[in-house]
């Protein structure tokens, strides 16, 4: 789940209008490979004015090799967003990584 928590309604609307399709730019990078998110499609998350939702449900389609690389603690795992108006990335902590690795089983 990708969530933008912005308390002020006016600020939230302004920011979310600048983040159209942000969910398509989320990725996990491990061992030099990026696995891009695939958003759930049952509900349209972008309004007609381009405003994205503050909540997106994402899946990351890892291959068996990418799962093995993710579980290998010798490899760094990075969670990132590459949107032109919201470019961020973070190295996943060992605790977060272990929790996420459990989703592969």
**Cβ–Cβ under 8 Å, residues 70 and 62:** yes
Residue 79: give the domain boundaries. Answer: 2-104
pLDDT for 30 equals: 98
62 backbone φψ class: left, alpha, beta (φ>0; ψ -120 to 50): beta
Residue whose pair of structure tokens reads 């958003």 in the numeric block? 39
Could you tell me if 26 and 81 are in contact, meaning their C-beta atoms sit under 8 angstroms apart?
yes
Instruction: Count how many domains the chain has.
Output: 1
SS3 74: coil
Dist CA 100 CA 82 (whole Å): 21
Kindly report, residue by residue over 39-57, the tens digit of the pLDDT. 998 766 677 777 899 999 9
What parts of the chain have a pLDDT lower than 50? none
Please tell me the predicted confidence (pLDDT) of residue 44: 67
Can you give the pLDDT at residue 36?
Answer: 98
């Amino acid at each position: 789940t990708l969530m933008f928590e912005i308390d002020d309604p006016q600020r939230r609307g302004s920011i979310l209008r600048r983040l159209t399709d942000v969910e398509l730019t989320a990725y996990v990078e491990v061992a030099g490979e990026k696995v891009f998110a695939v958003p759930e499609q049952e509900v349209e998350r972008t309004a007609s004015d381009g405003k994205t939702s503050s909540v997106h449900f994402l899946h990351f389609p890892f291959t068996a090799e990418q799962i093995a690389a993710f579980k290998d603690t010798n490899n760094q795992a990075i969670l990132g967003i590459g949107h032109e108006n919201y470019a961020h990335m973070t190295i996943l902590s060992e605790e977060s990584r272990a929790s996420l690795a459990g989703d592969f089983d």
